[in-house]
Amino acid sequence: MRAILLAGGLSLVLTLVGTRYAIIVLARHGYGQLIRDDGPTTHHTKRGTPTMGGLVIVLASVLSYLAACLVTGRTPSASALLLMFLFVGLGTVGFLDDYIKISRQRSLGLRSRAKFIGQTFVAVAFGALALAPWFEDSRGQTPAGQTISLIRDPKDLTLPAIVVVLFIWLLIAGTSNAVNLTDGLDGLAAGASVMTFGAYTLVNIWQNNQWCGREPGPTCYEVRDPLDLAIFAAAITGACFGFLWWNASPAKIFMGDTGSLALGGALAGLAVLTRTEFLLALLGGLFVIQTLSVILQVGFFKATKGRRLFRMAPLHHHFEMLGWEEITVVIRFWLIAGIFVAAGLGLFYAEWVAGV
């Protein structure tokens, strides 16, 4: 528990202080956000706001996790190192996307194919390594299970490794893009991420307390490194919390694709490593709704040859176009995110109680 508190607290302080300096440096170099001309007119005033603030989130989270391990005498586990690889890898793809937007002064960064290739490489490498026998612990547990689960691995189901890797790739690509879509209003993605990563911190703490490596039994959790995952999840939670101080309306800085792709990838990685792939759809329900709104908008537009289901997608822009103030949309969407997180944690705990 000491390592969890240290990682979260240190990450919070690093982003509170580091983001302030990042704003100065990014503004000095002209690394400002470009705004779509077809978006809500109220967003035009945001043009030039420093972006790529996700760099601070990624660096603070990684440094805080490593510092917590150093202070408490822990050796970073295979699960945490794989999660770090996914987090930093997708953050790098997002950074390239942001940098191209800024350097070439256009609202589109990496070409869609290049971005897809980058996400695919990182996701497939993560999935393959998470199932590799090289990372088995003394009990033969790999970081990821060879199945797809709601809360724990089914005992009578084993999928081919290629199927699991394919699913992991789809989950990572979908979740990273979902957080990216949600990052369209001041503080929206950062606030929702605080709640979702906070939920995964609690999930990992509970799994560690009921871990099969310590307390074998019918309700124990077969997760390779639950405590290390809790430490890393706490570090990311603290980083998002500290960043939100500067990202809340009116935002002084945006996380950019650097932050949103990294955060989405880390959420998917936590779901895979904690054996809660399907539970992520509930814990991250707000991100699911945002993605579905875009899918429905595009599908309806094509099916009706030009008509729109929403005034604008993702869904948060629809409510802006209806006349809602930006801060009103953000706070109400935070409430929705909180309801989904509470429902997901309730389901997670109810499953354990039912099995006792």
- Which residues make up each annotated binding site for Mg(2+)? 180, 257
Q: Give the residue numbers of the binding site.
A: 180, 257
CA distance linking residue 201 with residue 37, whole number of Å: 39
Contact call for residues 222 and 153 (beta carbons, < 8 A): yes
CA-derived radius of gyration, the chain: 20
Contact call for residues 33 and 254 (beta carbons, < 8 A): yes
Q: Is the dihedral of CA 26, 193, 35, 251 positive or negative?
A: negative
Residue 259 — φ and ψ, nearest 5°? -85, -45
CA distance linking residue 70 with residue 244, whole number of Å: 27
Contact call for residues 291 and 181 (beta carbons, < 8 A): yes
12: how many CB neighbours lie within 10 A of its CB? Answer: 22
Q: Label residue 229 exposed, middle or buried (CB < 10 Å: 0-12, 13-18, 19+).
A: buried
Residue 39: helix, strand or coil by DSSP? coil
Tokens of 125: 């490498």
